[in-house]
Amino acid sequence: MGHAVRPRKGYRAAVKSCLVVDLGLIGYAEAYALQKRMVAARKAEAMGDVLLLLEHTPVITQGRNGKREHLLVSENVLRQRNVEFYESSRGGDVTYHGPGQLVGYPILQLGAIRKDVVWYVRMLEEVMIRTSAEFGVSAVREPGKTGIWVADEEKNFTQNAGRARSAPGEQIAPKKLGAIGVHISRWVTSHGFAFNVATDLRNFDLIVPCGIAGRKATSLEKLLERAVKVSDVARVMVRHFGDVFGVENKLGSREELFEMLELAGQAVAVPV
C-alpha cells in the first residue's frame, strides 16, 4: 500500500539552516495570524526558514476545499464542548486539532529547495512515516489520499501478537495517524502537518475527518497502548524533518522568533 518517495538526490549540497520554535499550547487564531506575519517576512527575505511546533487548543478547521456538511454538529454543540471552528486558507477538507496532537507549520522558501508542491506534501508524509517507525509503528501512504495511515493495528506491534480483535478474514480499514494541509504562495509554505500523539480521538466523531467517510483517526498512544509525550515525539520529528529536507535545525525560543519578526517589520511591510 502506497509507495516510497525519496528526497531529491543532490539537493543537500548547500545545507541551509532552519530555526525550530516550540510555541507550546496556542489558539488557532493566534497561530494563524503569526504564520501570516512570518510568510510576509519570508517572502521579503527578511527572515529565514522556520519550523513552528505546537499544540492547538481544541478547534475544528475547514480548508479551502472543505464542505460544511462534513461538520456533523452545530456550532452551538461545539461551543458547549469548548471546541472552536475556523475556516482556513490551507488545502484539504475538515479536521480537528487539540492538545496531545503535534502540529508542525513549516515556513519555508520552497523555491530554494525544490519547486514541486506534490513532492513537498510527500516529504511531509515521509517525515511522519519515519517518526512513526522510530516508535515501532508501520505507517504508510494511501494512493489518492494525503496523510499517513496505519493499515492494520493487529499486525503493527509485536506486543499485540495473538490478540485478535476482529473476526478471521475481516478487513480493518486503515486509520489516519497524520494529516496534511498546506498553503503555498510565491513558493513560501505555511500550515503543514498534524500528528496524533495522545489526541482525544472522540472529537474526530464531530466531523468527517478530511472528508473521507468511513475512516477513523488513531493516535500513537492508542496504537502503542502506553502513554507517549508530545515532547518526545517532537524531538524525533525535528530530526527527521532536517534529514528529509536537508536543513540544519537550530532550536530557538518564542522570544527569539518575535524579536526576529519585529526586526523584519522594520524592514518590510509585515502585517500585524
Facing residues of 251 across strands?
20
Residue 202 CA to residue 217 CA, distance in Å, equals 9
3-state SS class at 150: strand
Residues 208, 209, 212, 217, CA torsion sign: negative
Residue 265 CA to residue 272 CA, distance in Å, equals 9
Q: Which of 210, 223, 237, 257 is catalytic?
A: 210
Residues 76, 80, 86, 91, CA torsion sign: negative
Q: How many helices (H) and strands (E) does the chain have?
A: 7, 11
3-state SS class at 241: helix
Name the grid cell of 37.
506575519
Residues 56, 59, 64, 67, CA torsion sign: positive
Q: Where are the alpha helices (DSSP H) in the chain?
A: 28-43, 75-80, 117-134, 153-156, 220-224, 230-245, 254-267
8-state DSSP, 173: P
Task: Specify whether 210 is catalytic.
Answer: yes
Residue 115 CA to residue 227 CA, distance in Å, equals 39
Catalytic residue annotation: 210
